[in-house]
Amino acid sequence: MTKLASWNVNSVKARLGHLLDWLKAAAPDIVCLQEIKCTEADFPRLEIKGLGYDAVVVGQKTYNGVAILSRVPAKDVVVTLPGDGTDDHARYVEATVGDLRVASVYLPNGNPAPGDKFDYKLAWMKRLEVHARDLLDREMPFALAGDFNVAPADDDVYDPAGWKNDALCRPESRTRFRALLNLGIADAFRALHSEGQRYTYWDYMQRRFETDHGLRIDHILLSPQATDRLRQCDIDKSPRQRDKPSDHTPIWCAFAAP
């Protein structure tokens, strides 16, 4: 089995201890990180290499930043989402790990909506759809894993009425997310779990984690060939329970050998 995970760590430097502990405990083969909030030069490569993981990193100062950790070295790295040469946010990295094409995705939040940031989010989602179509044409199994900043349905949100105008839940965001699925891509968690109220993110404010007031916005999306091999998918709440946690917790899935 190959275990793939995704985690928005909200600063890899602030979360390094948690990350190393979790890599040891969860033993994933491939990890997509988001919001590393540092440049490639500042990424804690040595500490992570000490646990046996190589890293491909697309970083920038202060904001955003994505990475793919893997036990097997990654090949054929792509460091931007195609479709807009003026977009300089570090939100996308894609590489081949073993027989799987993997992308670490940090989709724009989009708030406040409506507005420029919401327009950027929707345009970014359209670019992702165009690129996903290109990946499908190559017929290599692939996974898009990351913080999509979209709660696909009302049962992915603790208070749908209160969030209905938020960029994470607005119908325009959900329509674009559904357009990805309509290409034939599967939401790995939903493929194996029908129950609602299963979350990957809880705001730091107002004891939202303690009261389980969360949203399911971190996803692993799979091509048909990858879905054929999907055996398990779950959300690991344990890192979110620790002191000084990220506001997100990891989602992971396991694939059978081809």
Partner DNA sequence: ATGGTAGCCTTGCTA
With binding defined as CB under 7 A, does residue 108 bind DNA?
Answer: yes
176 binds DNA (CB under 7 A): no
For 242, half-sphere exposure in the C-beta direction (CA atoms, 13 angstrom radius) is 15
Smallest distance from DNA to CB 214, Å: 14
- Strands of 251-255's sheet, edge to edge? 54-58, 66-70, 30-34, 2-8, 251-255, 230-235
Q: Which residues of 210-238 are buried (b: 16+ CB within 10 A; e: fewer)?
A: eeebbbbbbbbbbbeebbebbeebbbbbe
The answer to the question of residue 61 lying near DNA (CB under 7 A) is yes
Considering CB under 7 A, how many residues would be counted as binding DNA?
Answer: 18
**Cβ nearer to DNA, comparing 110 with 152:** 110
Alpha-carbon gap, residue 97 to 75, rounded angstroms:
7
Nearer to DNA, 36 or 135 (CB): 36
* Smaller CB separation from DNA, 98 or 110: 110
Tokens of 204: 């730091």
Candidates 165, 182, 197, 206; binder of DNA (CB under 7 A) is: 206
Nearer to DNA, 73 or 112 (CB): 112
3-state secondary structure at position 125: helix
Interface characters, 225-254, with DNA (x: CB under 7 A): -------------------x----------
Binding residue for DNA, selected from 5, 19, 29, 37, defined by CB under 7 A: 37
Q: Copy the structure tokens of residue 80.
A: 């931007």
Strands (E) in the chain, as ranges, are 2-8, 30-34, 54-58, 66-70, 75-78, 92-97, 100-106, 142-147, 186-187, 218-222, 230-235, 251-255
Here the tokens at position 225 are 């060939």
**130-149 footprint of DNA as x/- string (CB under 7 A):** -------------------x
Judge whether 170 and 122 are in contact, CB under 8 Å.
no
Residues of span 11-30 touching DNA by CB under 7 A: 11, 13-14
Stretch that binds DNA, among 7-15, 72-80, 93-101, 152-160 (CB under 7 A): 7-15
Give the span between the Cα atoms of 97 and 253, in whole angstroms.
Answer: 15
The yes or no reply on residue 205 touching DNA (CB under 7 A) is yes
Give residue 59's identity as a one-letter amino acid code. Answer: G
**Given the rule CB under 7 A, which of 79-87, 96-104, 152-160, 203-211 is the region that contacts DNA?**
203-211
Interface with DNA includes 10 (CB under 7 A)?
A: yes
- Listed ranges 51-59, 60-68, 78-86, 127-135: which one lies at the site for DNA (CB under 7 A): 60-68
**111 lies in the binding site for DNA (CB under 7 A):** yes
- Three-state SS at 72: coil
3-state SS assignment for residue 114:
coil
Q: Which of 41, 62, 85, 210 binds DNA (CB under 7 A)?
A: 62
Binding site for DNA (CB under 7 A): 10-11, 13-14, 37, 61-64, 108-109, 111, 117, 149, 204-206, 244
